[in-house]
Structure 1
Amino acid sequence: MATIALVVGLIIGIGAGWVAKPAEVTTAPGATATTTVTTTKTVTAPAAGGLSGEVKIGWVDGLTGGNAFWGEAAKTAADVALNEVNQYLKDTSAGWTMSIVYEDSETKPDVALEKLKSLHARGITIVSGWGTSADLRACISYSNSNKILLLAYGSNAADLAIPNDYTYRLMPTTKIEGKCFARIVYDLGVKYLVPMWRGDTFGDSMMNYVRQYCSALGITVDDGVRYDPNATEFSSEAAAFASRINNAISTYGADKVGAYIHCFEEGKAIFASLKAYNATNWGVHWVGVGGLVLTDWALETDTADIIANKGVYGCLIPTPNAKLYNVQAQIKAKLGREADIYGLNGYDAVWMLALALNSAKSYDSDAVKAQLPWVANNYTGVTGWSPFDEAGDRQGSNYGLFQIVGSAGAYKWAQVGIWDFSIDTITWWPEPKIM
């Protein structure tokens, strides 16, 4: 059985087009070397009898609201993966199929918890999605109390890195992301940073590390402007931010000032409000990590007029591979655009849960939970190979550095460099590469 469990896991990866990292052990976690069938369930051993029929996993995410841009991409990528999973299960006569029950949190933590409880009431105890840390935070206690396995594609607030809970996450934490941001700011020669950020779990966690890492590099961080992520109008926040920027410019000079707006899709309204304060001509460095990076809406004039050719933004990038290009083509055909790392994580989340379910041979959250670290350690998906750390979060990876540039009469995203997380060093490219 141990040998069969290992071979099945690897065959699934190969059948889907993957190249699996060679296992460092010869048995899958939880497997035994006996053919004796028992009726006892344990956390480390799959239940006898296997899976059959339709196996449902849940999906709770902001498909509307501030996370809509990323939620839409992750859902589209998840559907691509689901088709592949079910084709494989059919081809191998596995005896079961997977389906996904999608629920929209509206990017509101209280709604996210309601949706999770609704899924639980229907017997669904394995749930992916979770594009924001705020949504996830609202649900962790309930999931732990009720043994509901959560696999998040987007959440990365460092204070949610809790060992031995029922949550796994496919993004490195803000502890890694904050270090990338500080290195960008330092390399650009910024001496004074003025931030404006979402007042939620993700935003506050990010700002904690931004302040810590910038201070260590000799960069002063202004008190900044913390805003309500549920707001739709930002005139007062824009006025406060503009005032702080102008004060910094008068003291340090524009070329030594960094303007940092840490936002989701509400950033459109924020940048529109800033145009009233002549933000286009401030001459400061616009900087950031995540959020607006590679979004279509940032290419619209209200935002692009302000940050084009003056902003540098970091975003986790996948390792290039043939499977990535194939999946991106399918996503673009369905969505009209390619997915960034968050959307691609949605694809990997579905495959990882399918592999863990197949290895556990049971719809039991404890049994599937026990298999996930093994799957992560032996699976190379569209976002590359990256096992979980001791808290069940993805280990670090490199970040691409991006900028909006004018090209052929239009604004486009271009990659201008890369941050190597292993040595905390940026390599700037001699010429921008249009995306």
Structure 2
Amino acid sequence: MRKLLLPVTTLLATALLTFSCQKSTKVIVAQPVFVQGLFSLTGNWSSLGITSKAALELAQEDINAYLAKKDSRFSISVAVSDTKLETAAAQSLYTTDVYNRNVKFVIGPQSSAEVAAIKGQVDASQVIVVSQSSTAGSLAVDDNIFRFCPPDKIEGVASGATIFTQGATGLVTVARDDAGNKGLQTATGAAFTAKGGEVSAIAPYAITTSDYTTVIAAVKAEVARLTTSKGAGKVAVYLASFDEGIELFKLASAEPTLNSIKWYGGDGIVLSTALTGNAVAAEFAIKTGFFAPSFGLPTSLQSKWQPVADRIKAKTGIEPDAYALAAYDALWTIAYTLETTNGHADDFAKLRAAFIAEANKDTGIVGADALDEFGDRASGTFDYFGIVKDGASYKWALVGKSE
């Protein structure tokens, strides 16, 4: 009997050992899901592009650590291309880096002009595009482009109300001729008018403009006209621009009637390192009390967004705003979406529905990601930033919040 048991026992032990070894050496290979970033890294509005790139890189790191702990069968792989804030570059990069590589997720582009430029390509392909900073109301349509920031109708209401509350009854508005900035000019002007103010809208200047003399002359003429009817100290200027606004500031600084009144800006220039790097423009901003809105960071969630903001600043040397941090949230929403599909992106209708569902239930580091019927962030407040002198240099500082 003992002779019979010995071989059976030995065989059983060997089988268990083999099974144990197989189980301990089993490795789950996480298949990468590619996400393409389209940001301005060297062109206009590069401050946001650089911080958004860092935000994606940090989100990738954090997400993959989270997925690894769950033995997930997929991972996130991020690549970022430089659009230089140029529409032609955005279109070309969409073709080469998204469509040709069969990438299903894009974060960016930054500007509404770039988003509008690639919309036809997006409509013709099954790709989810999430812009962290496009605001144009003209892009508020039901498609596969989602925007994780408040659209211009929300920012314009906040800016117009703030300008009126600060005492202006006449407002001259001027904007770069692109979808986002024109949308802000229109929305801000409409909100200011609704409060009882009078608006004089200067025709938008061309993107290719290099000499802004005629633009400043038109602003000066309208300021004079409104001052005649409204009185001294009752007229302000609102400028919706990107970094080229610096050139307008430099010209306006030499005009007594323009450097002695209040100026306000749109989100395209807020936290721009190009502005703080130009002494003439920075001094003009200080003298005129200039400030511009950035999508607001909720104090109630500071324990979530501050550590990420600190990591981005350590990586780039630039203080990130909520638009950059929204890019961080966008990648997490994509990751949560892929969890529901086990990393698969072949059923686009299911993928799109899952993305919308995840966005509507998720609270990221900058707040609820809930979308409206057009796929844009449904709500938001704004932080106002102005320029202050810090020794021999200049920096942006928080100067207020929208109601």
TM-score (norm 2): 0.85
Report the Cα offset of residue 162 of structure 1: 0.9
Greater CA drift, 201-210 or 405-414: 405-414
Structure 2 SS opposite 1:276:
coil
Match of 1:290 in 2: 267
User: Quick one: which of 129, 132, 137 aligns to 2:116?
Assistant: 137
1:57-76, Cα deviation, whole Å (9 max, x unpaired): 12223223223121111111
**Number of corresponding residues:** 369
User: Quick one: which of 351, 361, 364 aligns to 1:381?
Assistant: 364
**CA–CA distance in 1 between the matches of 2:393 and 2:39?**
32
Distance 1:233 1:63, change over 3 A: farther
Greater CA drift, 219-228 or 133-142: 219-228
**2:71 aligned with 1:88:** no
**2:38 aligned with 1:55:** no
Match of 1:16 in 2: none
Report the Cα offset of residue 264 of structure 1: 0.9
Report the Cα offset of residue 188 of structure 1: 1.2
Contact 1:162 1:391 in 2 (8 A): yes
Contact 1:191 1:218 in 2 (8 A): yes
Structure 2 SS opposite 1:66:
coil
**2:236 aligned with 1:261:** no
Match of 2:398 in 1: 415
Quick one: which amino acid aligns to residue 327 of structure 1? V
Report the Cα offset of residue 275 of structure 1: 2.6
**CA–CA distance in 2 between the matches of 1:179 and 1:386?**
20
Greater CA drift, 73-82 or 303-312: 303-312
Match of 1:34 in 2: none
**CA–CA distance in 2 between the matches of 1:190 and 1:51?**
62
Which structure 2 residue ranges, 5 or more long, are not aligned?
1-27
Report the Cα offset of residue 81 of structure 1: 0.6
Report the Cα offset of residue 202 of structure 1: 0.7
1:243-274, Cα deviation, whole Å (9 max, x unpaired): 33344334433410111111111122221232
Quick one: which amino acid aligns to residue 304 of structure 2? K
**CA–CA distance in 2 between the matches of 1:363 and 1:273?**
52
Percent identity of equivalent pairs = 26
**2:311 aligned with 1:330:** yes
Match of 1:156 in 2: 135
Q: Which residues of 2 match residues 10-409 of structure 1 at below 5 A?
A: 52-118=30-96, 119-163=98-142, 165-278=143-256, 282-299=259-276, 300-308=278-286, 310-320=289-299, 321-361=302-342, 362-364=344-346, 365-406=348-389
Quick one: which amino acid aligns to residue 286 of structure 1? W
Contact 2:135 2:150 in 1 (8 A): yes
Quick one: which amino acid aligns to residue 307 of structure 1? A
* Higher Cα radius of gyration: 2
Greater CA drift, 376-385 or 172-181: 376-385
**CA–CA distance in 2 between the matches of 1:219 and 1:160?**
27
**CA–CA distance in 2 between the matches of 1:126 and 1:192?**
44
**CA–CA distance in 2 between the matches of 1:254 and 1:147?**
55
Greater CA drift, 269-278 or 253-262: 269-278
Contact 1:254 1:283 in 2 (8 A): no
1:357-412, Cα deviation, whole Å (9 max, x unpaired): 12222123433211122212332222112311111110111212333344556544
Quick one: which amino acid aligns to residue 403 of structure 1? G
Which structure 1 residue ranges, 5 or more long, are not aligned?
1-49, 421-435
Contact 1:225 1:240 in 2 (8 A): no
Distance 1:113 1:327, change over 3 A: same
Report the Cα offset of residue 339 of structure 1: 0.3
Contact 1:158 1:173 in 2 (8 A): yes
Quick one: which amino acid aligns to residue 298 of structure 1? L
1:309-344, Cα deviation, whole Å (9 max, x unpaired): 622433221123212111111101110122011111
Quick one: which amino acid aligns to residue 228 of structure 1? A
**CA–CA distance in 1 between the matches of 2:201 and 2:383?**
28
Contact 1:239 1:277 in 2 (8 A): no
Contact 1:182 1:210 in 2 (8 A): yes
Match of 2:25 in 1: none
Contact 1:51 1:95 in 2 (8 A): yes
Report the Cα offset of residue 79 of structure 1: 0.8
**CA–CA distance in 1 between the matches of 2:42 and 2:274?**
15
**CA–CA distance in 2 between the matches of 1:249 and 1:304?**
25
**CA–CA distance in 2 between the matches of 1:171 and 1:196?**
23
1:196-232, Cα deviation, whole Å (9 max, x unpaired): 2110111221222223222222211113241122334
Report the Cα offset of residue 52 of structure 1: 4.6
Match of 1:26 in 2: none
Higher helix share: 2
1:63-95, Cα deviation, whole Å (9 max, x unpaired): 232231211111111111111111222222213
Quick one: which amino acid aligns to residue 144 of structure 1? D
**CA–CA distance in 2 between the matches of 1:401 and 1:122?**
40
**CA–CA distance in 1 between the matches of 2:59 and 2:136?**
26
TM-score (norm 1): 0.79
